[in-house]
Amino acid sequence: MNKNNIKQIVLDIIAEIAPDEDLSGVKSDIRLREQLDLDSMDFLDIVMELRKQHGIDVPEAEYRQLESLDSSANYLLPKFESGATA
């Protein structure tokens, strides 16, 4: 698992919860909200899908760590790695 895998995982989730959004040009270092029409309900869904699909818990206070693909990758990588070795 590396950061690019994680970015792809997050993008796949966004494609699932917001099928009407065009994800082809999404930039990693810019906040997702600035590039896509996502609101707090959509971010909840990203968190819930991470939990359902990958068994990863994101506490509510840390939802904002998912604001961009880069920040998501940085934040989630240790969680994915500890999950893989557990």
Partner 1 sequence: MPKTSTASNHYDVIIIGAGLAGLSSAVRLGMFGLKVLILEKHFVVGGLNSFYAKGGRKFDVGLHALTNFPSESSGKSSPLLKLCRQLRIPLDSLNLLEQSSSRISFGEIDLCFNNDFEFFLSEVEKVFPKEKDRFQKLLSKMVEFPAYSVDAKEISTREILGQELGDSLLAEMLLCPTCYYGSARANDIDFPTFIMLFDAIFKQGLARPDRGIRALLDPLTDKLKELGVERRMNSPVKSIQTDQIQVSEVILENGEAFTSDHFISTCGGLETEKLLCLPDTPRSFDLGRFSIIESISVFDGHPRDFGWDETVIFFNKSDKFFYDQPKQLVDLNSGVICLPDNYGPIDSSEKKEAKLRVTHPANFKLWSELSEQKYQKEKCFWEDVILQNGLKYLPLGESKSELFKNRTHLTDTFTPCTIKRFTSHENGALYGSPTKKRDGSTKFSNLFIAGTDQGYVGIVGAMLGGIAVANNQILRNL
Decide: is 64 part of the binding site for partner 1 (CB under 8 A): no
> Could you tell me the smallest distance in angstroms from the CB atom of residue 40 to partner 1?
9
Nearer to partner 1, 30 or 48 (CB): 48
Q: What is the DSSP letter of 62?
A: G
Q: Show the site string, 22-41: x = touches partner 1 by CB under 8 A, - = not.
A: ---------------x-x-x
16 CB neighbour count, 10 Å cutoff? 12
Contact between residue 1 and residue 84 where contact means Cβ atoms under 8 Å apart: yes
Residues 6+ apart with CB under 8 A from 38: 14, 18, 21, 32
> Could you tell me the smallest distance in angstroms from the CB atom of residue 4 to partner 1?
25
> Could you tell me the smallest distance in angstroms from the CB atom of residue 50 to partner 1?
11
And the tokens for 15?
């494609």
